[in-house]
Structure 1
Amino acid sequence: MKLNKIAIALLAVAAAPLSANAGVTISPLLLGYHYSEGADDEQNDLFKSGYDTSAPGEARNDGIYKENGLYTGAALGVELTPSTQFQVEYGVSNTDGVSENTDMEFDVEQETISGNFLIGTEEFTGYTDSALKPYVLVGAGRSKIEIENQDALPITNTTEANQQGQVVPAGTLVSESTDTIGNLGLGAMYRINDALSLRGEARAIHNFDQNWWEGMALAGLEVVLGGHLAPTVAVPPMEEPEVVETPVIDVDPIDEDMDSDGDGVYDSMDQCPNTPMNKVVDERGCPITVDVTDELKMELRVFFDNDKSVIKSQYQPEIAKVAEKMREYPNSTARIEGHASKTGPSARYNQRLSEARAMAVKSMLTNEFGVAPNRLSTIGYGYDRPIAPNDTEEGRAMNRRVYAIITGDKTMTVDQTKDMVIQ
């Protein structure tokens, strides 16, 4: 079928560039029940057998309607926000066609391809840690229905002698229609983990060209490549430091040999009066400045639920503090280590889980707080480096973690003090 080839080509072309990015979704198999009974009358008027199989004197062109049946499909999508995505879906429904006036039966194939927005309710209520993610589906596309006869049809009522006794072979296309459709539905995703979700949905389908309604209930499994998009976390604005002005005290002219501020320079030559006692000054009585290197070393610990790589909201402020420090120290870097407890199905599975946890922290620092990716390195250790025994729940909870070390330095110009050691 031409529509079939177009759908396969669209899915193949779209999958190649998207599969390398986070937030790409694939539903490899969608199973559903396609309800068509509400359109029986309209289909009877549209689809005709095309052949006169009645007895002589009773000529008619029988109408055909499509029965309810199984729907199978697949979908490819990309997340636009952490709770909303756009999908391209292709599906097929193969059922029987029935003619009310005869006992003839037909094969009906309906192919659909559509683009749908799955808009999560969290767009309006706010993001939560719940595994259940309800959504509203809105979309449009094309539907193609083809009808073939199951059995050979004898032509009995004709005035042309050379057609008497002819037979229409089984499998002949007797009627078809290609129409524009719109989709409207309600559904929910249940996230098993950060990569897999179960999907259930009820959908109404409107045929705009023929003005009839169909219905569908479907379920399937959704796979996410690269992990879900992380929710946006608001970063509190940096507070401007309060500037306290030191009052200038006017000193009455006195003896030239007097040193009022005790900096070793007589008042008559002191161009910077009232210098604090601990400051080192030059021959003018003004503070001497030096460059001082301030080193940064801080740690970050994030703990995860079993078999999860989603960062819980309670750790997001800690990650925000790390981002703030890394902005303050522009040359600082972070080494992010991911770890797992020894509860997964295999060492390879736990290795990938530990890497995903490290990448989740890196993604939040990069995507939400603007830290350059080349300043962050990640590594996963699986369950090779536990910090607590894995034979207790408390120990396993301690081992499901990310540990990050942030280091760097910055140079500041400050007034030299008498107790300062200059290297």
Structure 2
Amino acid sequence: MKLNKIALALFAVTAAPLAANAGVTISPLLLGYHYSEGADEDQSDLFKSGNNTAAIGAERNDGVYKENGLYTGAALGIEITPSTQFQVEYGVSNTDGQSDNANFDVEQQMLSGNFLIGTEQFTGYTDSKLKPYVLIGAGQSKIKVENQDAYVSNRTTEAFPAGSNIKAGSEVSQSTDTIGNLGLGAMYRINDALSLRGEARAIHNFDNNWWEGMALAGLEVVLGGHLSPVVAVPPMVEPAAPVDTPIYVVENDVDSDGDGVPDSIDACPGTPMNVVVDERGCPLQVDITDELKMELRVFFDNDKSAIKNQYQPEIAKVAEKMREYPNSIARVEGHASKTGPSARYNQRLSEARAVAVKSMLTNEFGIAPNRLSTVGYGYDRPIADNNTEEGRAMNRRVYAIITGDKTMTVEQTKDMIVE
């Protein structure tokens, strides 16, 4: 199967400037079974008369239709939301052309733009690795018919006058049409960078009013990590004001715990001396906020993004703190030394190092992906001299900042009161 070189070049040129951004997806190879049997009669009629006649049809009184066969393609996309993306897809299927009187090759090229709308767009984000989606899109289909056998045309046509010697491999007919795509599929996320993709698709040819079908599978690569979903924070509810209750004090009453409230009305006897109490002698509850600010540094071997064993305990400590502070988030920054073949290579290497740390926190320690963000800086932010081996070793790193807070309700003590 041959892929259009111009389309592949377009993928490469477009992907390069987008590679540093989160949510850019690439499906480098899509393999599928292209079913066109339902359009046999329409194709036979199309490829023997009218403007498409050339040398196939009227003189032989037969038509050509495309057999079912293998589809190969590639796609480049960008995430619009954490569960929806837009993809540009190019693909080709080459099969034999079915005819009663001659042998033909039929090539169909398809270029389309498709929206992949995840069901989580409507049901809400989950941590499930299986992500179903609906596909809808439109594009262009170009079908070319070439004869395998040489022969002499017996009839005058627009493309071949009577008596023309038609060589083997000559293009004898073609049709360029508008198509629409509608399908159902699912992504299975292996990790935050790789997903397996499976899909069933119906294709409608609007210009000739026929249907085709396709079942395909492939691997999707995400550059810079998926977009993180927005998690709604519930509004704070003010506690109800306490109801004042009359208090009756007995003269010369004893205050056994020394909290300033006589025993006769002390609803909480035995209060520690340092605790602040209310008018009933019970400890006052106050909310205090404990803030988290933590740093993580992971260093890498030259030209590597694999995490060395010595840093896994440090990453485990970060995961433990993030579980302790449920609203904490981490910004993971990747860096490289200036030893790679190009700035683009070092940029991608720094991104891969950041994604490696994020993947370990997600896959091995259960931290939700939406709490982690990644960015790669290439070799733009060195912390040491890149002209020395020691300096380059310091620059091959990931630096992460973990921030968050938690609120705890505790008994108020007198040393908390600021005069």
- Match in the other structure for 2:394: none
Equivalent residues of 1:99, 1:105 under 8 A apart: yes
Distance 1:52 1:33, change over 3 A: closer
User: Greater Rg, structure 1 or structure 2?
Assistant: 1
Offset, 1:315: 6.2
* Equivalent position amino acid for 1:108 in 2: V
Offset, 1:229: 1.3
1:353 counterpart = 2:356:
yes
| Dislocated runs of 4+, deviation >6 Å | 240-244, 314-317, 334-338, 358-363
* Equivalent position amino acid for 2:292 in 1: M
- Match in the other structure for 1:64: 64
Q: What aligned pairs does 1:52-131 form with structure 2 within 5 A after superposition?
A: 59-100=59-100, 102=101, 104-131=102-129
- Structure 2 SS opposite 1:26: strand
- Match in the other structure for 2:17: 17
* Equivalent position amino acid for 1:201 in 2: E
- Match in the other structure for 1:390: none
* Equivalent position amino acid for 2:173 in 1: S
Distance 1:335 1:119, change over 3 A: closer
Q: What aligned pairs does 1:279-298 form with structure 2 within 5 A after superposition?
A: 298=292
Offset, 1:8: 3.7
Q: Deviations over 1:166-224 (max 9, x none)?
A: 53101111100100000000111111111111111110000000100000010101011
Distance (whole Å) between structure 2 residues aligned to residue 203 and residue 335 of structure 1: 39
1:195 counterpart = 2:202:
no
Q: What aligned pairs does 1:325-364 form with structure 2 within 5 A after superposition?
A: 353-354=356-357, 364=371
Distance (whole Å) between structure 1 residues aligned to residue 241 and residue 119 of structure 2: 46
Distance (whole Å) between structure 1 residues aligned to residue 210 and residue 185 of structure 2: 22
* Equivalent position amino acid for 2:96 in 1: D
Offset, 1:29: 0.2
* Equivalent position amino acid for 2:29 in 1: L
1:50 counterpart = 2:54:
yes
Equivalent residues of 1:194, 1:228 under 8 A apart: yes
Offset, 1:17: 2.8
TM-score by length of 2: 0.58
Equivalent residues of 1:118, 1:137 under 8 A apart: yes
Distance 1:337 1:75, change over 3 A: closer
Distance (whole Å) between structure 1 residues aligned to residue 55 and residue 183 of structure 2: 39
- Match in the other structure for 2:325: 318
Distance (whole Å) between structure 1 residues aligned to residue 170 and residue 331 of structure 2: 67
Give the aligned CA root-mean-square deviation in angstroms. Answer: 4.6
Unaligned runs of 5+ in 1: 245-293, 303-307, 324-333, 339-348, 368-376, 380-401, 408-416
- Structure 1 SS opposite 2:325: helix
Offset, 1:68: 0.7
- Match in the other structure for 1:178: 176
Distance (whole Å) between structure 2 residues aligned to residue 190 and residue 15 of structure 1: 23
Q: What aligned pairs does 1:402-413 form with structure 2 within 5 A after superposition?
A: 404=402
- Structure 2 SS opposite 1:354: helix
- Match in the other structure for 2:412: none
Q: What aligned pairs does 1:144-293 form with structure 2 within 5 A after superposition?
A: 144-156=142-154, 167-238=165-236
- Match in the other structure for 1:33: 33
Equivalent residues of 1:319, 1:365 under 8 A apart: no
TM-score by length of 1: 0.58
Distance 1:213 1:148, change over 3 A: same
* Equivalent position amino acid for 1:189 in 2: M
Equivalent residues of 1:11, 1:88 under 8 A apart: no
Distance 1:178 1:151, change over 3 A: same
Distance 1:202 1:366, change over 3 A: closer
Unaligned runs of 5+ in 2: 243-287, 297-314, 335-351, 375-380, 384-399, 406-414
Distance 1:46 1:235, change over 3 A: same
Distance (whole Å) between structure 1 residues aligned to residue 163 and residue 46 of structure 2: 27
Distance (whole Å) between structure 2 residues aligned to residue 207 and residue 190 of structure 1: 30
Equivalent residues of 1:195, 1:223 under 8 A apart: yes
Q: Calculate percent identity across the aligned residue pairs.
A: 64
- Structure 1 SS opposite 2:43: helix
